[in-house]
Amino acid sequence: MTQYYDELETRSAADRAEAIARDLPEQIARAQALSGYGATLDGVEPREIIGAAELGHLPVLRKSDLGRAQEDAAPFGGLTRLPPHGFAHVFQSPGPIYEPGGAGHDWWRVGRFLHACGVGQGDIVQNCFGYHLTPAGMIFESGARAVGAAVLPAGTGQTELQARAAHDVGVTAYAGTPDYLKVILDKADEMGLHLQITKAAVGGGALFPSLRNEYAARGISCLQCYATADLGNIAYESGAQDGMIVEEGVIVEIVRPGTGDPVAAGEVGEVVVTTLNPDYPLIRFATGDLSAVLEGTSPCGRTNMRIKGWMGRADQTTKIKGMFVRPEQVAALVARHEAISRARVIASREGEADVMTVRIEATGGEAAHYAEAVRDTLKLKGQIEIVPPGTLPNDGKVIEDLRSYD
């Protein structure tokens, strides 16, 4: 019988919606009070923002917005409720982008994932996420403390010492990138050391089925989560291994790349997250990652929305004929005509010359009918192909580059 982390995981859709309708307006009000949001939330009535449908009318916050805000108001861009010295940690990620870290109970919301992995009291977690500047190490250490596990703060590198420590300490669980566990296991085999690791909580890279199967053959159950430095944990696998279950402390939307417009269930789009963390209220933060909603609930009994996991990057900006074409421009083209449902820009080559082809899903009109809109929104002339609705692939791409750079 499944042992759940808490009652939130199995609540009804109505109970979850009621809780969000209570907590989300408070989070919007907190964000409005922060200088970093400037005028972007002016005129918004927090009491009216009670769920994802209403969130969809608010502007999207992007990583580039964080960078600009932090240049003007270091280190957190005026987007936190506490001053820098009010947090337990200050982290630096590539960019550089600075993130706060709290020491409160499961501040990053990873405990739920570790619990789903079977990690808890009696376990020793070899935490091979980095502790230097970036937050991943502390994110998983916080989660381990939340479930009562001890931590070997191993970080990355020095594989021979890692294997020796795992053996000597009696490590039972691993946390880190999917592939590094194999490096440690292989090194332990080489050294003639028997390890007791039976659980693995991984993230930050692709978990290929072949690698998961190899771990299973060694008696190790390996599950993955989807987390970022800014947001903490967003979604996680359970033992059912049927999609990723959205974390209870965030609200996830899937939107068309380059816009904040929701896509239909099952359609690939960009992951946009609103966190309910009162210390760092990120509202509609665009991750730049692609995913899609899985309909229904997990066979494990957890009832929150599921997503398919990481499916690529949404930032498909491409230079064609010396001009950048961005997803936002493709979105503007779609918005230009009611008859257009979707569009896709394809960059190719004829000889040494760039060619731009625009495939448009439309219910009517000849190619010439859309030529002006293409020129005005994309700032380039190109070949236009009209295709029936439902023709374009469901992969989240609005720009595709077929050119060879060999």
When pLDDT is cut at 50, 70 and 90, the band that residue 79 belongs to is: very high
Q: Residue 311: its pLDDT value, please? A: 85
Residue 185 vs residue 366, higher pLDDT? 185
pLDDT grade for 137, boundaries at 50, 70 and 90: very high
Residues 371-390: what's their mean pLDDT? 91
**If you average pLDDT over residues 94-115, what whole number do you get?**
93
Only one residue has tokens 């795992």, namely: 166
Give the Cα separation of 237 and 252 in Å (integer). 16
The DSSP symbol for 106 reads T
- The rounded percent of the chain whose pLDDT value lies above 90 is 76
Burial 298-321 (b: 16+ CB within 10 A, else e): bebebbbbbbbbbbeebbbebebe
For residues 138-148, give the mean pLDDT.
97
238: three-class secondary structure by DSSP: coil
3-state secondary structure of 219: coil
The answer to whether the beta carbons of residues 326 and 317 sit under 8 Å apart is yes
Bridge partners of residue 255, in order along the sequence: 262, 270
Look at residue 321 in the predicted model and tell me its pLDDT: 82
CB-hemisphere CA count at 13 Å for 331? Answer: 20
Q: Could you give phi then psi for residue 292, rounded to 5 degrees? A: -150, 155
Q: How confident is the model at residue 176 (pLDDT cuts 50, 70, 90)?
A: very high
Q: 392 φ, ψ to 5°? A: -70, 145
What is the spatial distance between Cα 151 and Cα 104, in angstroms, rounded to a whole number? 17
Residue 243 and residue 294 in contact, taking contact as beta carbons nearer than 8 Å? yes
> Confidence class of residue 94 from pLDDT cuts 50, 70 and 90?
confident
CA distance 188 to 332: 55
Q: What is the pLDDT of residues 208-264, one digit of tens each?
A: 899 999 999 999 999 999 999 999 999 999 999 999 999 999 999 999 887 888 998
- 62-75 pLDDT, tens digit per residue, is 988 999 999 999 99
Q: CATH number of the domain at 7-307, please?
A: 3.40.50.12780
Per-residue model confidence (pLDDT) at position 315? 77
Q: How far is Cα 175 from Cα 179, in angstroms, rounded to an integer?
A: 11
Kindly state the tokens that stand for 363: 């219910």
Phi–psi pair at 26, nearest 5 degrees? -65, -40
- Compute the radius of gyration of the chain from its Cα atoms: 23
Give CATH 3.40.50.12780 domain extents, the chain: 7-307
CB 318 within 8 A of CB 347: yes
pLDDT in the model for residue 381 = 87
Q: Which helix (H) or strand (E) holds 227?
A: strand 221-228
| Mean per-residue pLDDT over the chain, rounded | 93
153: phi then psi, degrees, rounded to nearest 5: -75, 80
Rounded to 10 degrees, what is the CA torsion of 389, 393, 398, 404?
Answer: -130
pLDDT in tens, 267-322: 999 999 999 999 999 999 999 889 999 999 999 999 999 999 888 887 788 888 87
pLDDT category at 405 given cuts 50, 70, 90 is low
Instruction: Give the residue-averaged pLDDT of 44-66.
Output: 94
pLDDT at 396: 87
pLDDT of residue 363: 85
Task: Record the pTM.
Answer: 0.85
Is pLDDT above 60 for 92?
A: yes
Q: Note whether 140 and 110 are within 8 A (CB).
A: yes
Residues of the chain with CATH 3.30.300.30: 318-401
Q: Is the predicted pLDDT of residue 377 greater than 70, yes or no? A: yes
Q: How far is CA 390 from CA 290, 343, 363, in A?
A: 19, 11, 11
Residue 77's Cβ-side half-sphere holds a number of Cα atoms within 13 Å equal to 25
Q: Is 352 helix (H, G, I), strand (E, B) or coil?
A: coil
Residue position matching structure tokens 């896709």? 344
d(CA 274, CA 278): 11
Position 16 confidence tier, pLDDT thresholds 50, 70, 90: very high
The predicted structure's pLDDT at residue 60: 94
Predicted local confidence at residue 274, as pLDDT? 98
- 205 or 302, which is more confident: 302
Burial 109-144 (b: 16+ CB within 10 A, else e): bbbbbbbbbbbbeebbbbbbbbbeebbbbbbbbbbb
CA torsion angle 136 137 138 139 (round to 10): 40
Q: What is the per-residue pLDDT for 352?
A: 64
Which CATH code is given to the segment(s) 318-401?
A: 3.30.300.30
366 or 324: which carries more pLDDT confidence? Answer: 366
- Percent of the chain's residues with pLDDT above 70: 99
Would you say residue 406 has pLDDT above 60? no
Q: What pLDDT, on a 0 to 100 scale, did the predictor assign at position 1?
A: 67
* Sequence-distant (≥ 6) Cβ neighbours of residue 94 within 8 angstroms: none
Rounded to 10°, the helix 209-217/180-191 angle is 40
